[in-house]
Every structure is written in C-alpha cells, then in structure tokens.
Amino acid sequence: SQKIEQNSEALNIQEGKTATLTCNYTNYSPAYLQWYRQDPGRGPVFLLLIRENEKEKRKERLKVTFDTTLKQSLFHITASQPADSATYLCALPLGSSYKLIFGSGTRLLVRP
Amino acid sequence: EAGVVQSPRYKIIEKKQPVAFWCNPISGHNTLYWYLQNLGQGPELLIRYENEEAVDDSQLPKDRFSAERLKGVDSTLKIQPAELGDSAVYLCASSFSGERTDTQYFGPGTRLTVL
C-alpha cells in the first residue's frame, strides 16, 4: 500500500545551522510533492511545490529536492531561526486525482 | 484577502451530543475540503467538494457524519451523535481547481473535545 514517512522524532538544531527534513514514500509515483508548515493551533500553510521533472526548487532560505529514484524529498532551511520552529508536512497527490495524502510531519526546534 | 474562516475554534461536548462546524473558503475557490487531524498526525481527508458537489466522500463515516455545501460557498460538517474517538481537530481547506497542483489553503481548524 502507499505510504509516506517523515521522521517522527523532533529535529533540534542551533540557530544559524541548516535544517534538513526528510520525506520518503513508497508505492507512489507522484507528479509533484508539496511541503507545508504547521504551527501549534493553526492549519498547515503551503510553502513549496516541486514537480517530478524538477531536481531542486528554492524559495528564499528554503530548498526542496525531489529524487524520484530514491522516492525521497529533502527539505532544507538554511540559516535557521527560532521563528522557523514548527511542524513541517510533506504531501503527495494520490494518482492523478486532486487528493493529497499528508505525512505525519516532523517537528523542527531551532534553539537561539 | 481573507483566508479560510472556521468556527467555532473550540468545542467541548458530551458523547452522543450533536456538533456542527462551519467553514467559509477563500473567495473564488471552488474546491473545498474537510480534514480530520489527530495529534501528531497529518490531515486526513473526510470529504471534498467541487462547487456544490461532493466528489470524494469515501473517507466520511456516513453513519454519523454529514456535510453540505449549499450554493457552492460555505460548508457545514456535522457529527451526530459524537463519540469519544471523534476528539480531534477538524480542518477546512479550499483551493482553485484551475490550478493543476491542488495547492490548498487551510483554516485554523476547530478543536473538538468529546467527554
């Protein structure tokens, strides 16, 4: 069956370092992959989308890679700040439908 | 531009009672979603509307859950009767189906506690 895996353990890093979060999937061939940020008590907020024919996508301090061979996406935040502390979710479309399947998210804690 | 609006933000009820959640999507977004999110998990789709039509309700427990989207704008999700296991956050999201990538915009959610 289709499965999305994100590290359930929180990632705890020092301010200024690069945070790298992982999203692995099995039994999918998604046309694209999305990353969302979720703060406590709020709904997820869309950050970035990367398509299957794109290796890398950047937006300010954010970078996403998409390796369809490894079935993995990496999400990087460079020069991390305490304000980046949140849960980050990856999401993939189910087949050719508009139905997004979300991972369980990884919590990032950036220490000042 | 206003985002997705949900109310109430919090609801505490006793089991077997009914409860309803309301959602107003972003103006111009014809697709509306209701999700359930348990603690430490990602959102799980309950139902998706394209305008007034429910095009995917396969994950909606129809024995106790119902939803409607009259006039293709606001939507209401109802649970009757509520069970202890229904305690969760109920998220509403909207998107514009003209985009091929289904980027979704979420509301703040309603946190339901069933006692």
> What is the 8-class DSSP label of residue A84?
G
With CB atoms and an 8 Å threshold, state whether A100 touches B109.
no
Among the partner residues A8, A89, A93, nearest to B102 by beta-carbon distance: A93
Percent of chain A clearing pLDDT 90 (strictly above): 81
CB atoms within 10 A of CB B112: 20
- By the CB < 8 Å criterion, does A18 face chain B? no
What is the rounded average pLDDT for all residues in chain A?
A: 93
Instruction: Kindly indicate the confidence band of residue B99, based on its pLDDT and cuts at 50, 70 and 90.
Output: low
Q: How far apart are the C-alpha atoms of B64 and A88, rounded to whole Å?
A: 31
C-alpha to C-alpha distances, B91 to A14, A103, B69, B88, nearest whole angstrom: 32, 16, 15, 10
3-state secondary structure of B85: helix
As given in the structure block, the two tokens for residue B62 are 């129809």
- By the CB < 8 Å criterion, does B4 face chain A? yes
Average pLDDT over residues A30-54: 94
